[in-house]
Amino acid sequence: MRRYFVTTFGCQMNAHDSERIKGMLEELGLGEAQSPDDADVVVFNTCTIREKPDTKLAAHLGEAGARKRERPDTVVAVGGCYAEAQRERIFSLYPQVDVAFGPGTIGHLAEWLGAGGEGVARGAWGTGEERTFAATLPAHRERRFQAWVQISMGCNSVCSYCIVPAVRGREVSRRPGEIIAEIASLADSGVREVTLLGQNVNSYGRDLGTDFARLLREVDAIDGIERIRFTSPHPKDFRRPVIEAMAECAAVCEHAHLPLQSGSTRVLKEMRRTYSRDRYLRLVDEMRAAIPDLALTTDLIVGFPGETEDDFRETLSAVEEAGFDGAFTFVYSPRAGTEAAARTDQIPDDVKRDRIERLVEVVQRVAAERNASRVGAVEEVLVEGASRTDPLLLSGRTRRNTTVNFAGDAHVGDLVAVRIERATSTSLAGAQAVVYAV
Ligand code: 5AD
Ligand code: SF4
pLDDT in tens, the chain (438 residues): 899 999 999 999 999 999 999 999 999 899 999 999 999 999 999 999 999 888 899 999 999 999 999 999 999 999 999 999 998 889 899 999 999 998 888 888 888 887 656 667 777 676 566 788 888 888 999 899 999 999 999 999 999 999 999 999 999 999 999 999 999 999 999 999 999 999 999 999 999 999 999 999 999 999 999 999 999 999 999 999 999 999 999 999 999 999 999 999 999 999 999 999 999 999 999 999 999 999 999 999 999 999 999 999 999 999 999 999 999 999 999 999 999 999 999 999 999 999 999 999 999 999 999 999 999 999 999 999 999 989 999 999 999 999 999 999 999 999 999 999 999 999 999 999 975 555
Please give the C-alpha separations between residue 286 and each of 94, 244, 289, in angstroms, as whole numbers: 50, 10, 5
The pLDDT of residue 296: 98
Tell me the CA end-to-end span of the chain in Å, nearest whole number: 44
Residues 125 and 138 in one domain: no
Structural domain ending residue among the three candidates 104, 130, 156? 130
Compute CA 76 distance to the chain's CA centroid, rounded to the nearest angstrom. 25
60 and 67 Cβ atoms separated by less than 8 Å: no
CATH code, domain with 31? 3.40.50.12160
| Neighbouring C-alpha atoms within 13 Å toward the C-beta of 383 | 20
Residues 140 and 212 in one domain: yes
Ligand 1 near 50 CB (within 6 A): yes
Ligand 2 near 47 CB (within 6 A): yes
Residues 9 and 139 in one domain: no
- Interior/surface letters 232-270, b for 16+ CB within 10 angstroms, e for the rest: bbbbbbbeeebbebbeebebbbbbbbbbbbbbbbbbbeb
The pLDDT of residue 1: 86
**374 φ/ψ angles, rounded to the nearest 5 degrees:** -85, -15
Q: Structural domain of residue 82, as residue ranges?
A: 3-130
Closest CA to ligand 2's atom 1: 47
Compute CA 127 distance to the chain's CA centroid, rounded to the nearest angstrom. 20
The pLDDT of residue 129: 64
Closest CA to ligand 2's atom 8: 49
Structural domain ending residue among the three candidates 326, 343, 372? 372
The pLDDT of residue 115: 65
Ligand 1 near 10 CB (within 6 A): no
Q: How many domains does the chain divide into? A: 3
Structural domain ending residue among the three candidates 321, 340, 372? 372
CA-based nearest residue to 54, from 17, 93, 15, 12? 93
Residues 406 and 362 in one domain: no
Residues 312 and 423 in one domain: no
Closest CA to ligand 2's atom 4: 11
CA-based nearest residue to 401, from 227, 240, 242? 227
CATH code, domain with 382? 2.40.50.140
What is the model's pTM?
0.95
Residues 264 and 397 in one domain: no
Residues 232 and 340 in one domain: yes
Which stretches of 102-226 are assigned E, i.e. beta strand?
Answer: 123-125, 146-150, 152-153, 172-173, 193-197
The pLDDT of residue 123: 72
52 and 333 Cβ atoms separated by less than 8 Å: yes
Residues 30 and 90 in one domain: yes
| AA identity, residue 358 | R
Residues 49 and 96 in one domain: yes
Residues 155 and 279 in one domain: yes
CATH code, domain with 343? 3.80.30.20
Residues 390 and 317 in one domain: no
Pocket test for ligand 2, best of 13, 21, 161, 200 (most atoms within 8 A of CB): 13
Residues 151 and 297 in one domain: yes
**390 φ/ψ angles, rounded to the nearest 5 degrees:** -145, 105
Longest dimension (CA), the chain: 63
